[in-house]
Amino acid sequence: MQVAIISDIHGNRHAFEAVLADVGRTSATAIWCLGDVVGYGADPNDCCRLARANTALCLAGNHDLAVTGDLDLGEFSTGAALAARWTQEVIADDHRDWLKSLSPSGEAEGVGLYHASPRDPVWEYVLSALLAELCLDAQAERVCLVGHSHVALAFERPEGEPATGAARRDGDAADLSAGEWIVNPGSVGQPRDGDPRAAWLLLDTTAWTAQWRRTEYDIAGAAASIRAARLPDSLAERLEYGQ
């Protein structure tokens, strides 16, 4: 089964629509979302609508849980908290109810799914081999997918060896057929690895392969929407730099 893996859309309709179009040009038969449908961007209702219509499975991210009131906004940065409060004001009731129905973890096709990590599905950033080692010890599945960090990467632990990992770029591929893995598709709506293009992953659960993808989108349009909503200008500026 070929599945498109997306994460961290963050209310960026321009990026989400571009990725959906790109996925449609592949042989993927389903889309799984690892959470944060809403967040820093200015189109939360559109992104919820698109996610509900196009994903076979969707997790809750920490920003989704902030908007539903399940997390205290005091735990977020100033910009993230301002965006969450604004989103709470504009999001439709049915989309809020849908977000509230989601869980930050799950499983499908033998793959563990976590917004953040197997140890802490809501908050932990898996960005080092040490943390990956601890998470690999904790996860029940051989292959797990995580989001949250906004960085496309993978950590591998062959049998009897320590975990190693690295960031992944457009077109990079991995053979997941042996060993234990933690794989991050990167962020659709706010990449933080220096590449401003929307990030996603094509996963084959039969051949156990993964390929990282990047998609061009209207960054200027997304930034203009953020500024029109009077959200912090930094949320618009960072899109251009992939940071």
CB 147 within 8 A of CB 184: yes
Q: How many helices (H) and strands (E) does the chain have?
A: 8, 12
Length of the chain as a residue count: 243
Confidence band for 231, pLDDT divided at 50, 70 and 90:
very high
Structure tokens at 118: 């197997």
CB 103 within 8 A of CB 59: yes
Q: What is residue 15's predicted lDDT score, i.e. its pLDDT? A: 98
**Residue pLDDT, tens place only, 195-212:** 999 999 999 999 999 999
CA distance 100 to 234: 28
**Residue pLDDT, tens place only, 85-114:** 999 999 999 999 999 999 999 999 999 999
Question: Considering the chain, what percentage of its residues have pLDDT values greater than 90?
Answer: 100
DSSP secondary structure code for residue 207 in this structure: T
Q: Which domain holds residue 201?
A: 2-241
Q: What is the CATH classification number for the domain harbouring 53?
A: 3.60.21.10
Q: What is residue 132's predicted lDDT score, i.e. its pLDDT? A: 97
Give the contacts of 53 (CB within 8 A, at least 6 positions apart). Answer: none
Structure tokens at 80: 């993230």
**Residue pLDDT, tens place only, 21-62:** 999 999 999 999 999 999 999 999 999 999 999 999 999 999
If one counts the domains in the chain, the total is 1
Q: What is residue 162's predicted lDDT score, i.e. its pLDDT? A: 96
**Residue pLDDT, tens place only, 128-186:** 999 999 999 999 999 999 999 999 999 999 999 999 999 999 999 999 999 999 999 99
Phi, psi angle pair for 211, to nearest 5°: -135, 130
Q: What is residue 235's predicted lDDT score, i.e. its pLDDT? A: 97
Confidence band for 7, pLDDT divided at 50, 70 and 90:
very high
| Exposure string for 47-73, b = 16+ CB within 10 A, e = fewer | bbbbbeebbebbbbbbbbbbbbeebee
DSSP secondary structure code for residue 19 in this structure: H
Question: Considering the chain, what percentage of its residues have pLDDT values greater than 70?
Answer: 100
Q: What is residue 236's predicted lDDT score, i.e. its pLDDT? A: 97
Cα Rg for the chain, rounded, in angstroms? 17
Q: What is residue 220's predicted lDDT score, i.e. its pLDDT? A: 98
Confidence band for 125, pLDDT divided at 50, 70 and 90:
very high
Q: What is residue 33's predicted lDDT score, i.e. its pLDDT? A: 98
CA distance 138 to 84: 31
Give the contacts of 241 (CB within 8 A, at least 6 positions apart). Answer: 194, 196
Q: What is residue 191's predicted lDDT score, i.e. its pLDDT? A: 98
